[in-house]
Amino acid sequence: MKQLLSLFLVLSLTACAAGPRTARDRTVTATEEHVTAQSGEAGITDPVREAEHDPASKAPLGAASLLPEEPVIPEDTPTAEAPSAPEEPSAPEDPAAPERVLDPSRPMVALTFDDGPHAEYTDQILDILEENRTVATFFEVATNLHKDPDAVRRAVDMGCEIGSHSYRHADLGKMSQEAIQADLAAADELFTQVLGQAPTLLRPPYGSINQALKTSSGRALVTWSIDTEDWLNRNTEKIVSSVQNFGNLDGQVILLHSIYDTTVEATRILVPWLLEQGYQLVTVSELLTLRFRQEVQTNHLYGYSLFRWQVPPLAETPVTPEAPEVLSAEPVSKAPIKVKLVLRETVPDESVRTELLGKDLLSLQARRL
């Protein structure tokens, strides 16, 4: 009997202890479900639960301690280097640019072309000059620049010289100083649009010059000494014969026009012929600087009497074959032609100095326009 009473007492105590714990657990569970329901209705999410179900999360909240620690790499353990990008092959250097050699002890001639540019003929003349690795001076009419501005820029790149032939080919010699300045200013504006700067040389149309133009143009005035009259005869044979039958061409400035097909054909004959005769084809500024040994000055006329009657004698001392002195200079613009000046020894009492010629070669490049 006593044993039964003790067993009943133990079972009663056990039931009392289990009852409150179960109720408390149920209360907590209900509270959690109530909070969760409210959070869902308000649009609030549990960051822990979201992180656990977010496959993109690398380190969910509350899970940092579960990430494996980064391995410790010993200092002496070699590490794999990232492969370096292959080096791009360097571009091959441009072949040597063609050279045009200028020798002050040899005769020089300046070909000049007026009234352009022409939409077709200017480029054809440039082709002839380029084939023979030589140059000329083009006195362009500003209002014609639109016909082929690329040809004018090409001429500069080749080492040719660009001069102004006025704004609209007006007779400047019959104009007042104010009208002259207005014409030249309008021309300069168009030249600047095409070339970035205005020419420093001016050939007045018709060779017409008055005192106002000569003293206040702010430019070097250049005419000619041989008129081929290509504008008049329009005949290739006559143009060629006017040059070939002239006689000594050293120091001469030949007048041509780049707007006639007959002049193009005459140029095709004359350029190689002049080179075969031993003449160096140069720009006007090169002729004045290297052959006449003069600095090109503004408000100064370089005309017929100078080119025809005042050509200095050539140096007679031959160049030393072992080690001739050579001075080279790169053109100011990015021209493909390099100019080399071969300096010979001067004869006794010769006034030309080597330093002066070298300085002149450098300065005349800036006068190409």
Reported as a single tens digit per residue, the pLDDT across 266-286 is: 999 999 999 999 999 999 999
The reply to whether 272 falls in a domain is yes
**What's the CATH code of the domain at 198?**
3.20.20.370
Residues noted as catalytic = 114, 257
Which residues constitute the domain of residue 145?
108-311
Buried b vs exposed e over 32-67: b needs ≥16 C-beta within 10 Å? Answer: eeeeeeeeeeeeeeeeeeebeeeeeeeebeeeeeee
- Count how many domains the chain has: 1
The reply to whether 167 falls in a domain is yes
The reply to whether 360 falls in a domain is no
pLDDT per position as a tens digit, 167-223: 999 999 999 999 999 999 999 999 999 999 999 999 999 999 999 999 999 999 999
Output the pLDDT for position 73: 46
Mean pLDDT computed over 326-340: 45
Cα angle value 129/132/138 (rounded, 5°): 20
The reply to whether 33 falls in a domain is no
Output the pLDDT for position 162: 98
The reply to whether 297 falls in a domain is yes
Task: Specify the residue for token string 């620690």.
Answer: 69
The reply to whether 84 falls in a domain is no
The reply to whether 22 falls in a domain is no
Mean pLDDT computed over 324-335: 40
Helix axes 261-276, 121-131, angle to 10 degrees: 10
Cα angle value 61/63/67 (rounded, 5°): 130
The reply to whether 177 falls in a domain is yes
What is the pTM for the complete model shown?
A: 0.66
